Structure 1
């Protein structure tokens, strides 16, 4: 089964780059451009890993994280923040909601995003197998 990535990013150019490289690796990508639509997709639960920008129109990524952490069914799924907000206090706050990683967009290549996605999906699958 192909892994499903929920890609929440309001910058269309960045979204298209990430979507393209992820799909080329065989991932099924659901792109979403604003926080309200993201909430709907998150609650559907039809994703295995989320790439989440924090600066979004209509509802910000931190608010989405807070909601997600309160949902026991979905909160165990890996979430990676991809943002250019590089403030220590903000990053620390995001980490309190169980994110796997906080990635600064300006400091990472698309290929590194692929590596991180593969890493966390592999860890997640390995953990699931060991917990059976």
Structure 2
């Protein structure tokens, strides 16, 4: 059986990445000893998965319909020379929506969007 995974709102991700999963007392730091900032310190990656459903499961030879699902994750350096990876899909969308709202409030009128279905990329 897989180990228990803590769940929390995506808005809390930046504070949750500061602590190792096995201990709430040991913190993660960047190579220069500062707390990790997801946007500043971590490389953004993405890939596309597919969610497939059988259109009419009770019929023989029915079609399978697949929809693309874009996933984002960040790879962050640690002080010990290693890296850790955080899946950030919800957080990336939350930040994109927040940035669009801030820009609109400031009179910029620009909305930031994350493209769904794009090829795997590294920032």
- TM-score of the aligned structures, taking structure 1 as reference length: 0.27
* TM-score for both structures, normalised by structure 2: 0.28
The structure whose residues are more often strand, as a share, is 2
Which structure's CA Rg is the greater one? 2
